[in-house]
Amino acid sequence: MRIDDSSRRPEEPTPASTVESPAPAEPEPTPAEARFGKCRWSVREDGPEYCSNPEVLPYAGKGGFSPGAWCLDCALFKPRRKAPKRRRVDDDYPY
C-alpha cells in the first residue's frame, strides 16, 4: 500500500548543502616559475609574461615564453634590484 504524500512539503535544502565550497587556491609555482618571478629580466605587461634578456628574447619571443623551458638552469639569471631608499622630504638634518 502506498501513502499519499502530495500534501507534504518538499524538503528544504540543509545549510550544509547550500554552502558553496571555497574557490580553489592558486597552484604553487614551479621552481622555474618562482625563479622567473625573482629575475630582473622578467616582464609582466598587458600580455603574457616573457623574458626581456636580449639573448633569450629572439628565441623565446613574447607570446610563447615558458619559464619551465628557460629559467630553471639559466646562466643569465640576475635577481631583481631593490629600489633605493628615498630620503624624507621633511628631514632637514644633513647626514
Per-residue pLDDT of the chain (95 residues; tens, 9 = 90+): 667 666 766 666 656 555 566 677 788 889 999 999 999 999 888 788 899 999 999 988 888 888 898 888 889 988 888 878 777 677 667 76
Domain annotation covers residue 25: no
Give the residue carrying C-alpha cell 619559464.
Answer: 67
Numbers of helices and strands, H then E, in the chain: 4, 2
How many CB atoms lie under 10 A from the CB of residue 89?
6
Alpha helices in the chain (DSSP H): 15-18, 31-38, 57-60, 67-70
pLDDT at 29 (0 to 100):
86
The whole-angstrom separation of Cα 46 and Cα 63 is: 12
Sign of CA dihedral 61, 62, 63, 65: positive
Domain annotation covers residue 53: yes
pLDDT at 4 (0 to 100):
67
Domain annotation covers residue 49: yes
pLDDT at 86 (0 to 100):
76
Domain annotation covers residue 58: yes
pLDDT at 14 (0 to 100):
59
* Domain count within the chain: 1
Domain annotation covers residue 9: no
Domain annotation covers residue 15: no
Domain annotation covers residue 23: no
Domain that holds residue 50: 41-76
pLDDT at 54 (0 to 100):
92
The whole-angstrom separation of Cα 63 and Cα 57 is: 10
Domain annotation covers residue 92: no
